[in-house]
Structure 1
Amino acid sequence: MRRANSRMAWRFVILLGVVSLFADMTYEAARSITGPFLAVLGASATVVGIVAGLGELIGYGLRIVSGVISDRTHRYWAITIVGYAVNLLAVPALALAGRWEIAAVLIMAERFGKAIRTPARDAMLSHAARGLGRGWAFGIHEAMDQIGALIGPMIVAGVLAWKGSYESGFAVLAVPAFLALAVLAIARINYPQPHDLEPSFRGLEAGGLRSTFWFYLMAVACIALGFADYPLAAFHMKTKGIMADKWIPLIYAGAMGVDALSALAFGRLYDKKGIRALFIVVALSAWSAPLVFLSGPGLLLLGMTLWGIGMGAQESVIRAVVADIVPRDRRATGYGVFHAGFGLAWFAGSALMGFLYDRSVTALAAFSVVSQFASLPVLYSVQKRLHPKRASMEQKG
């Protein structure tokens, strides 16, 4: 019986992974060209910035609402399907926009759809992951996600080279969008009650989001605050003449490859070592900013490798810990609050690092390192709450 349940859980994880592969192929491809597309339609740089910023604010901020509604109504599948439909169908619709105002609404609709479906989707995934090793299951999901994120922009680049039309690029993305929805429908038909894949589990603290969750959110917010965005790193490479233009997207693609491998490796490590896996991640990724912003091409590539390691861990280990802290019936709420808090910290840190870059690159690098290392004592506090006996033995040793 246990082996049969394990097989069912793995199939569910793989199905959701395939959905994410096609979904990322769709909207990551679109995100790679929405800026120049808005410019072609006549939007100003200010409009592009506002649309991007507001879209991300919607994409993270509304996850709290979506998570709470998911847990209160228990309509996880309905909310996930509606979210994916809005998220994905808005992309090929951009081919018909014609005006930047319509395109802006569709871009924000895509982010709105992602906000709707992410907490419910992650909650369902966490149920299947319980008996498989949550770090490994979330790592598999993230690796498949990143495969789509790599393929999508390449497809759009090929269409642009062939047709020379942004509209054609968006139209082609209807194919992976509908494939994602088709696989999602298959998952819904075969697994109507994903929570049955997880044994009854009340979490570390029954009743909801208690102190351990909030301490953990505080720790990962420190990591998010100090994690530099790739656009800022790419801006640095371009303006300082460190890398030729043709290499900048390839460096990003390489970092995404490291991201996928990191998600698998650190996901497996989390299942063996617990939250201590994050200590190793922070010790590595914290040095990415100094290497990227204060060195030449060789060390910059090492810095981007460490950056990719951090990204992979964020999408595997960090999500897996939430599932181990939050009770099953509050899981979507937990993910909604977590994603919103993490996202807001990320954007605050990105804005501050952009401000620091214009004044002192050294200050930017120092802020990044200090902020990420500030997470370690808080993570240790969380570890003591999760494994009090183990932490006590380590202190005596």
Structure 2
Amino acid sequence: MAAVLILLERGGKALRSPSKSALLARAATKVGRGKGFGVHKALDQLGAFAGPLVVAGVVALTASLWLGFAWLVVPGVIAMVILLVIRRGVPDPGNIGATSVAPPAAPREAASSWWRIALGGGLPGVFFGYAVAAALTTAGLVTFAVLSVHLTRDLGVTVAWVPVIYAGAMLVEAVAALGTGWAYDRVGPKVLVVVPVLVGLVPALAFAGLLAVALVGVGVWALAYGIQDSTIKALVAQLVPSDRLAGAYGIFAAIQGAFAMVGGFVAGYLLDRSIPLLIVVVGVSQAVALVLLVVTLRRVRPAIVAG
């Protein structure tokens, strides 16, 4: 049941994420896409920071998990009200502003078969290179669920402390998103090369035998995830035609999801068998990701200029 609920939650995110990213890329054109995605992620993580703490507090006061989770209906309702207000104020999000440096697709391409468009037909090769590089970092970044297994099973952390540690990680993610978003708008996409470096450090630190070192690893995990789920998406809007933006974000997320599935399976499998091997596998994958990312970023500037 827990697995089904997690899959349903991930399915919901998959449905809303491409459109959300496209709207955000449009709305952030004037202020800087790095800043736009960074501020969005920071606000998102502030909610993620407060949510587990409130749930833990309600559970502690009432001794009821059901009541702890039931309160989440309140921010959900508020979010829907805000969404409806924005929808009334901006009836056509396509008019928010310019979406991309690349020009719109040719009419004949837009009229091609839907499945070809859905699979990314006509999108530039540099976009797919970047998507694979980003997906490799996603595959190598072990989930917090895997980290929590090590914390509770091997380091003696009680289950009650897990949401507190997670809340702290969410706060670190918010800071990482803001910082890299600011840097992205000033120095460009080369700031993203820090992601595979951080991801490669996570297992060596987070799966250490000392709790203090493991907590530092959780912090590094939060830094990497904060960048990966925010600033790394800003570049997509500069690589694809303006009328393919939402679809491109969908393909980008699908590639990341496929790699994440493989990475999650490998991480869980190796955690029960050989932590040193897990560290080596993640390190090698991030070395490949770093090389591919550097090669891709060298092609990014000519692609933008050509657009």
Higher RCO structure (Cα 8 Å, ≥6 apart): 2
The aligned residue for residue 82 of structure 2 is: 183
- Aligned equivalent of 2:166, options 252, 258, 266: 252
Stretches of structure 1 lacking an aligned partner (at least 5 in a row): 1-46, 56-107, 390-397
Tell me by how many angstroms 1:322 deviates.
Answer: 1.2
* AA matched with 1:351: F
**Residue 87 of structure 1 aligns with which residue?**
none
User: TM-score when scaled to structure 2?
Assistant: 0.86
Cα drift, residue 343 of structure 1? 1.5
Which of 1, 23, 48 in structure 2 is aligned with 1:149? 48
Q: CA RMSD in A?
A: 2.3
TM-superposed deviation, 1:339: 0.9
1:225 paired with 2:139, answer yes
Which position in structure 1 is the counterpart of 2:15?
A: 116
- Write the distance in 2 (CA, Å) between the matches of 1:204 and 1:289: 42
In the alignment, is residue 158 of structure 1 matched against residue 57 of structure 2? yes
| 3-state DSSP of counterpart to 1:203 | coil
Aligned to 1:65: none
Q: Which of 256, 264, 268 in structure 2 is aligned with 1:354?
A: 268
Specify every segment of 5 or more residues in structure 2 that has no aligned partner in the other structure, as ranges. 107-121
Instruction: Give the structure 1 partner of residue 67 of structure 2.
Output: 168
Contact 1:224–1:345 (8 Å) recurs in 2: yes
Identity of aligned residues (%): 37
Which residue, out of 267, 291, 297, partners 2:181? 267
Matched pairs, number: 289
Opposite residue 16 of structure 2, the aligned amino acid is: R
In 1, distance between residues paired with 2:212 and 2:64? 36
Q: State the 1:200 CA deviation.
A: 6.5
Q: CA deviation at 1:261?
A: 0.1
Equivalences for residues 1-397 of structure 1 within 5 A = 47-49=1-3, 51-52=4-5, 55=7, 108=8, 110-199=9-98, 201=100, 203=102, 208-388=122-302
1:363 shift after superposition: 0.4
Q: Could you tell me whether the CA contact under 8 Å between 2:100 and 2:238 is conserved in 1? A: no
CA-to-aligned-CA distance 1:103-160 (integer Å, 9 cap, x gap): xxxxx2x544333222112111110112211111100000000111122222222332
Instruction: Kindly provide the amino acid, as one letter, of the partner of residue 386 in structure 1.
Output: V
CA gap of 1:163–1:302, structure 2 versus 1, over 3 A, is closer
Could you report, residue by residue, the CA deviation over 1:320-364 in whole angstroms, capped at 9, with x for unpaired residues? 111121222111101111111111211210111111112210000
User: Following the alignment from structure 2 to structure 1, what is the Cα–Cα distance between the partners of residues 286 and 156?
Assistant: 26
How far 1:365 sits from its partner (Å)?
Answer: 0.9
Aligned partners of 1:215, 1:222: CA distance in 2, in Å?
Answer: 11
Kindly indicate whether the alpha-carbon contact (under 8 Å) linking 1:139 and 1:315 is maintained by their aligned counterparts in 2: no
